[in-house]
Amino acid sequence: MATILVTGGCGFIGRHVTEELLENGYDVRILDALIDQVHGDAEASAPDAAEVFRGDVRDKSAVEKALEGVDGVIHLAAEVGVGQSMYEIARYVGGNDLGTAVLLEAMIGRPVRRIVVASSMSVYGEGRYRTADGDQLGFIRRKPERIRIGQWDPLSPDGRALIPIATDEEKPVDLASIYALTKYAQEKQVLIFGEAYGVEAVALRLFNVFGAGQALSNPYTGVLANFASRLANGQPPMIFEDGQQRRDFVHVRDVARAFRLALEKPNAPGHVINIGSGQAYTIAEVATLLAEAMGVPDIAPDIMNKARSGDIRNCFADISKARELLGFEPGYRLENSLAPFAEWVRSTGAVDRGAEMKRQLEERGLVS
C-alpha cells in the first residue's frame, strides 16, 4: 500500500484530497503549518486514519521527517490570495517558492515516485479570446487607463472587441500578480526537479475551487466563500468591476479526484493540466445564485465599479487535456451544488471580513 504525503493536508482542498486517497486504499501523512488565517484557533481537521505532522514546509527538519517512508507527494501547502499577495510579498514568495524549494531538496535521494503540485489558473492572466472574425489571441492584457474609466473589457491590439473563449494549457502565461508569479514558480520548480532527478512530476492548474470546508472567515480564500460570509451576516456580496467578469467554478470533490488521478495515470508526468468545470459563470450571476440558495434573494450584490490590482477580466477552463490524460470528468455543476454548500454555511457560521479586506487594499492604492 502506497504512502502519500499531502502538504497542506488540513486545508480546504487538502482535507478532501486526504479523504479521496484514504477511500482508494492509500496511507496518508499530512504536513501542515495550521496558520491562523486559514485555521484560526481550530485544531487540525483531518480524517482519523491520516497521520498529521504540524510543521512549516520551509522547515527542513520537519519536511525530512514527514518524507520518511513516503512513495508520493501531493504538494498543496501555499499562501493563497491574489489581493493579499500584492502587499505581503515576502510572505507569499517565502511560503510558496522557498517552501517548494525546501521540499524538493529534501526529496533528493529518496524513493519518491511521483509529485503532484497545485498550480493556479492565475498564471494565465487573461484567458483566451477571439475576434468576431474567429482569430484567436493568446496574449491580451487590459490597459490601466481604460480600467480607470470603467472600460473593463480588453481589446485586441488594433482596438477590436473580443470574445472570451475557454483557455487551454498552450495559452502563454501572463503573470499579473505576485500570487500568480509564485504559483508559476512552484510548478516550474517541480517539473524541472522531476526531469533532473527522474521523479514523475505533474502540475494541476486549479480554477476557482468551491465546496464545504472553505475558510469562511478568510477573505482571501475564494469568491464563493467571501460571498457566503457576507450573505450569512446579512451583508451584500462585494463585487469589483461590473460583475460581468467570467470564471470557472470547480467542486472540491472533483479537484480531489483529479489529484488522485494525477498520482495514478501513466501519461500525466511532465504535464501541466487544467482542472476546472469547463463552464463559465459571471461573478454577478454567481452572487445571485448563492443568495437564492441561502434564502436571502432580496440581498442584491454591491457592484462597486472599481478594480483590484492584479485582477483579470475573464478566464475559464478548457479541460480537454484533463479528460485525455487523467480520464477526468467533472461530477458537480455549480448551479446543482449551491444548496448543500449554503446548508453547510448556515450550520458553520462565518465572520465577515470582506470590508477589512477592501480597506487593506484601498489603503495601499490597490483598488482604482
The one-letter code for the residue type at 268 is A
Interacting residues of 181 by C-beta distance below 8 A, sequence separation 6+? 93, 175
Q: Coil, helix or strand for 275?
A: strand
How is residue 303 written as a grid cell?
457592484
Closest-CA residue to 26 (of 53, 58, 50, 45) = 50
Eight-class DSSP state of 129: E
Catalytic residue flag (residue 129): no
Contact 321, 271 (CB under 8 A): yes
DSSP states of 242-262 as a string?
Answer: TS--EE-EEEHHHHHHHHHHH
Catalytic-labelled residue, pool 179, 184, 220, 281: 179
Eight-class DSSP state of 317: B
Kindly report the number of other CB atoms within 10 A of residue 192's CB atom. Answer: 12
Helices (H), 96-177: 99-107, 144-148
C-alpha 317/C-alpha 122 separation (Å) is: 11
List active site positions. 179
